Amino acid sequence: MELSKRKFIKNTLLSSVFFLSACKTRFYSIKKNGEGFSTSKITNKKGDPMIELPQLPYAKNALAPHISENTINFHYGKHHQAYVTNLNNLIAGTDLEGKSLEEIIKISAADKTKAGIFNNAAQVWNHTFYWNSMKPNGGGKPSADLLKIIEADFGSFEDFVKEFKNAGTTQFGSGWAWLVLENGKLKVTKTGNAETPLTTNAKPLMTMDVWEHAYYLDFQNARPSYIDTFLVHLVNWDFVAKNLK
Ligand code: FE
């Protein structure tokens, strides 16, 4: 009698462990959506929405040969995904859980104790903006309307190119080069690490990642070649025009 009671307890415990581990596996498999480009809304156990890795706006091999699928696999699938995962872990159980990414960036930027949250949140946003700043068969000059605005604000398209290249090459260490709209005028800026114009009064229009992970697999240490390629073959002027509206 005693033996069968013990057996019953053992079996019950084993099935509970199995059930809990199955739930845990399912929870993490939904959360870790970088590989499958899941578009389903992800929520935590309380039902609050979690920050998601957005879908790439093109196939992972669509920017080749300029940016290889291998780079995208690491840059998007590993780096961008890691910022998403870290951010969700950092805000879990805090008053930032359930807030939009933009709200999290603004709140954490104003609070020095939330630097880790800011870095991951801003990097999630900056990377999504970067993927949209490129397109297959992009680059070159924009359409006539946008070209006129660029010429008016920079002097000439060539002057814009010079300024943008300069921002990208002179950003010491990791960071970003940006085309922004500030006080009604186009402007080139650069930011270090995770910093983003979202925390300023400038409106971001386009960005280029100059962290080494953006170009090292395809261009090794030749950041200027990557910047040239970005401007000649990749920049998405339609995205810039859309952001200007
Ligand atoms: Fe990056």
CATH of the domain at 227: 3.55.40.20
What pLDDT was estimated at residue 46? 75
Nearest to 190 by CA among 200, 204, 175: 175
Question: How many angstroms does the Cα of residue 135 sit away from the middle of ligand 1?
Answer: 16
What pLDDT was estimated at residue 41? 60
Question: How many angstroms does the Cα of residue 186 sit away from the middle of ligand 1?
Answer: 24
- Taking CB atoms within 8 Å and a gap of at least 24, the contacts of 211-215 are 211/174, 211/175, 212/174, 213/74, 213/75, 213/79, 214/71, 214/75, 214/130, 215/71
Which residues have a Cβ under 8 Å from the Cβ of 166 and sit 6 or more positions away? 188
Does 188 map to a domain? yes
Question: How many angstroms does the Cα of residue 131 sit away from the middle of ligand 1?
Answer: 10
Question: How many angstroms does the Cα of residue 160 sit away from the middle of ligand 1?
Answer: 23
Does 33 map to a domain? no
Question: How many angstroms does the Cα of residue 2 sit away from the middle of ligand 1?
Answer: 62
Does 96 map to a domain? no
Contact 92, 44 (CB under 8 A): yes
Question: How many angstroms does the Cα of residue 8 sit away from the middle of ligand 1?
Answer: 54
Question: How many angstroms does the Cα of residue 137 sit away from the middle of ligand 1?
Answer: 21
CB under 5 Å of ion ligand 1: residues:
209, 211, 214
Does 208 map to a domain? yes
Question: How many angstroms does the Cα of residue 116 sit away from the middle of ligand 1?
Answer: 16
**Residue span of the structural domain in which 197 resides:** 144-244
Three-class secondary structure of residue 93 per DSSP: coil
Question: How many angstroms does the Cα of residue 71 sit away from the middle of ligand 1?
Answer: 10
Does 190 map to a domain? yes
pTM score above 0.85: no
Question: How many angstroms does the Cα of residue 171 sit away from the middle of ligand 1?
Answer: 14
What pLDDT was estimated at residue 130? 98
Question: How many angstroms does the Cα of residue 53 sit away from the middle of ligand 1?
Answer: 14
Question: How many angstroms does the Cα of residue 38 sit away from the middle of ligand 1?
Answer: 21
Question: How many angstroms does the Cα of residue 158 sit away from the middle of ligand 1?
Answer: 26
Question: How many angstroms does the Cα of residue 181 sit away from the middle of ligand 1?
Answer: 22
Does 211 map to a domain? yes
Question: How many angstroms does the Cα of residue 212 sit away from the middle of ligand 1?
Answer: 8
What pLDDT was estimated at residue 12? 44
Question: How many angstroms does the Cα of residue 110 sit away from the middle of ligand 1?
Answer: 23
Does 174 map to a domain? yes
| Number of separate domains in the chain | 1
Does 65 map to a domain? no
H or E stretch including 103?
helix 101-109
Question: How many angstroms does the Cα of residue 5 sit away from the middle of ligand 1?
Answer: 58
**Low pLDDT (below 70) residues in the chain:** 1-41
